[in-house]
């Protein structure tokens, strides 16, 4: 007989999922009701309103796609890219590569603009790509590259796309809730996010928002959207106007309770305060790591507060260290990916997990294991350095 599954109580400081608060887990456990129950429809309206707040947008087409961030990504591409469309895709980490895959599977042509992993998207290179491809219909890029810990300039990139008559698709999976995201002010046409990063909700839902120009593009399509499940015109029959909602698919009811709760928490804290908290804890972590003698992989100007790429010092066994953190401290941090595999760790301070306790816990645990591995670090200084930031 297989018995019940009881997961260990970990501290999640990797690239996501992040620690989920007891308050959100409590919401998840409330009674399941029908997905067309009038009480549930009220919850749907509130979630849309809360997402508009989180995205800072008045976009009517703002809703949670019933699947993880990758589905939000796919929803943006399948609805906006028609066969033959040219899409300029910026790649400076893992997720730009997935955008390319999406474009090609929609029958589009991906024009790649590549930057080194650990650097932001270069505006000059995007400008040059538009010079070479003035017929490009869309510009796609990642706001917060979780694989490297770098943020790019959404406002400038979207303005550039608009000047060139192209729509913008922006990945905000890791940015939403952790750093500023201002869809309307920045002129973003389509954006998707995820619930398990800085919103600190359980994984499995992807908030998306489409602006007026994007909606027009969708309505002007002559090719059917290749995905039935993610076709926004169909999804809107369920999530759209509150008068008559038709069955499209069964919404993940309890996950949506959890999302609602996490968004209520964000609203209570306020966006500016949430961003400031992420920044403060990030600065304390970096101060501690640097006092220990570790280096950061990304220039200070482009660092994400919610995802810290740390250079692994020489002679340290990356895998063994992460295993020891997990086994001895119940602490998860992320490995480097792609070009940075084996060279960096990725320490997440996302959402509810961005707190003083996690910073201190992680610094202590890292120091203990690095010392045991005989790494060339300076023990005993990290906490003092972090505390100095906390007391500011
Ligand atoms: C995590 C992540 C995704 C994918 O989200 P899933 O929920 O894992 O599907 C996409 N883009 C970025 C930048 C991410 O960090």
CATH of residue 326: 3.90.1150.10
Are 107 and 83 in contact, with CB atoms under 8 Å apart?
Answer: yes
Q: Which atom of ligand 1 is nearest to the CA of 143?
A: 13
CB of residue 173 inside a 6 A radius of ligand 1:
yes
Poorest-confidence range of 128-142, 223-237, 357-371?
223-237
Tell whether 237 is covered by a domain.
yes
- Does position 241 have pLDDT exceeding 90, yes or no? no
How many beta carbons lie within 10 A of that of residue 345, not counting itself? 25
| Residue 246: per-residue pLDDT | 83
Range of the domain at 381: 271-390
| Residue 244: per-residue pLDDT | 72
Candidate from 16, 148, 309 with most ligand 1 atoms within 8 A of CB, to mutate: 16
Gap from CA of 172 to ligand 1 centroid (Å): 9
Beta bridge partners of 65: 206
- Does position 149 have pLDDT exceeding 70, yes or no? yes
Are 84 and 108 in contact, with CB atoms under 8 Å apart?
Answer: yes
pLDDT tens-digit series, residues 298-318: 999 999 999 999 999 998 999
> What is the mean pLDDT of the segment spanning 361-381?
96
From start to end of the chain, where are the E strands? 11-13, 61-65, 86-91, 109-114, 138-142, 144-145, 150-151, 167-171, 190-192, 206-210, 307-311, 331-335, 344-348
> What is the mean pLDDT of the segment spanning 64-84?
98
> What is the mean pLDDT of the segment spanning 24-51?
96
| Residue 224: per-residue pLDDT | 94
Please tell me whether residues 278 and 229 are part of one structural domain.
Answer: no
Round to whole Å and give the CA distance between 370 and 378.
10
CB of residue 97 inside a 6 A radius of ligand 1:
no
Please tell me whether residues 232 and 136 are part of one structural domain.
Answer: yes
CB of residue 296 inside a 6 A radius of ligand 1:
no
> What is the mean pLDDT of the segment spanning 106-111?
98
> What is the mean pLDDT of the segment spanning 115-122?
97
Are 56 and 271 in contact, with CB atoms under 8 Å apart?
Answer: yes
CB of residue 178 inside a 6 A radius of ligand 1:
no
pLDDT tens-digit series, residues 168-204: 999 999 999 999 999 999 999 999 999 999 999 999 9
Q: Which atom of ligand 1 is nearest to the CA of 16?
A: 1
Q: Which atom of ligand 1 is nearest to the CA of 203?
A: 7
Please tell me whether residues 73 and 179 are part of one structural domain.
Answer: yes
Q: Which atom of ligand 1 is nearest to the CA of 142?
A: 13
Q: Which atom of ligand 1 is nearest to the CA of 172?
A: 13
Gap from CA of 83 to ligand 1 centroid (Å): 25
Q: Which atom of ligand 1 is nearest to the CA of 206?
A: 7
Round to whole Å and give the CA distance between 35 and 247.
9
> What is the mean pLDDT of the segment spanning 103-111?
98
Round to whole Å and give the CA distance between 326 and 12.
10
> What is the mean pLDDT of the segment spanning 361-374?
97
CATH of residue 241: 3.40.640.10
Gap from CA of 169 to ligand 1 centroid (Å): 14
Please tell me whether residues 114 and 42 are part of one structural domain.
Answer: yes
Please tell me whether residues 44 and 101 are part of one structural domain.
Answer: yes
Please tell me whether residues 302 and 321 are part of one structural domain.
Answer: yes
CB of residue 171 inside a 6 A radius of ligand 1:
yes
Please tell me whether residues 212 and 334 are part of one structural domain.
Answer: no
List the residue whose alpha carbon is closest to atom 2 of ligand 1: 173
Please tell me whether residues 201 and 321 are part of one structural domain.
Answer: no
Domain end position, chosen among 268, 297, 326: 268
Total domains, the chain: 2
Phi, psi of 89 (to 5 degrees): -115, 125
Please tell me whether residues 43 and 97 are part of one structural domain.
Answer: yes
Candidate from 117, 143, 174 with most ligand 1 atoms within 8 A of CB, to mutate: 174
Gap from CA of 202 to ligand 1 centroid (Å): 13
Gap from CA of 206 to ligand 1 centroid (Å): 9
Tokens of 232: 């926004």
| Residue 288: per-residue pLDDT | 98
pLDDT tens-digit series, residues 278-293: 999 999 999 999 999 9
Please tell me whether residues 206 and 222 are part of one structural domain.
Answer: yes
CB of residue 147 inside a 6 A radius of ligand 1:
no
| Residue 237: per-residue pLDDT | 80
**For a pLDDT cut of 90, what percent of the chain falls above it?**
95
- Does position 242 have pLDDT exceeding 60, yes or no? no
Tell whether 7 is covered by a domain.
no
**Cβ neighbours of residue 239 under 8 Å, at least 6 residues apart?**
44, 48, 63, 245
């Amino acid at each position: 007989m297989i018995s019940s599954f009881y997961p260990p109580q970990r501290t999640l400081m990797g690239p996501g999922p992040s620690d989920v608060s007891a308050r959100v887990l409590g919401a998840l456990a409330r009674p399941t009701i029908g997905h067309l129950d009038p009480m549930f429809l009220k919850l749907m309206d509130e979630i849309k309103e809360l997402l508009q707040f989180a995205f800072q947008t008045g976009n009517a087409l703002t809703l949670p796609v019933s699947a993880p961030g990758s589905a939000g990504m796919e929803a943006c591409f399948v609805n906006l890219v028609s066969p033959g469309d040219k899409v300029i895709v910026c790649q400076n980490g893992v997720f730009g590569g997935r955008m390319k895959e999406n474009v090609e599977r929609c029958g589009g042509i991906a024009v790649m603009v590549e930057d080194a992993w650990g650097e932001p998207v270069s505006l000059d290179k995007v400008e040059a790509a538009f010079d070479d491809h003035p017929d490009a219909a869309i510009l796609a890029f990642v706001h917060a590259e979780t694989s490297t810990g770098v943020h790019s300039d959404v406002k400038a990139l979207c303005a550039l796309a608009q000047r060139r008559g192209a729509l913008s698709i922006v990945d905000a999976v890791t940015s939403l809730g952790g750093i500023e995201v201002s869809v309307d002010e920045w002129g973003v046409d389509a954006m998707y996010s995820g619930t398990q990063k800085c919103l600190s909700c359980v994984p499995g839902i992807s908030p998306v928002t489409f602006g007026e120009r994007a909606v027009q593009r969708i309505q002007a399509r002559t090719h059917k959207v290749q995905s039935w499940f993610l076709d926004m015109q169909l999804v809107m029959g369920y999530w759209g106007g509150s008068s008559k909602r038709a069955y499209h698919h069964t919404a993940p009811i309890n996950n949506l309770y959890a999302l609602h709760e996490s968004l209520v928490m964000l609203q209570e804290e306020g966006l500016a305060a949430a961003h400031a908290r992420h920044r403060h804890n990030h600065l304390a972590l970096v101060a501690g790591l640097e006092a220990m003698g570790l280096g950061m992989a990304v220039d200070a100007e482009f660092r994400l507060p919610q995802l810290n790429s740390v250079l692994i010092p020489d002679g340290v066994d990356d895998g063994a260290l992460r295993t020891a953190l997990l086994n001895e401290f119940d602490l998860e941090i992320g490995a480097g990916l792609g070009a940075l595999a084996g060279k960096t760790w990725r320490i997440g301070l996302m959402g509810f997990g961005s707190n003083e306790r996690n910073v201190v816990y992680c610094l202590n645990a890292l120091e203990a294991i690095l010392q045991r591995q005989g790494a060339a670090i300076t023990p005993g200084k990290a906490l003092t350095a972090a505390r100095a930031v906390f007391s500011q």
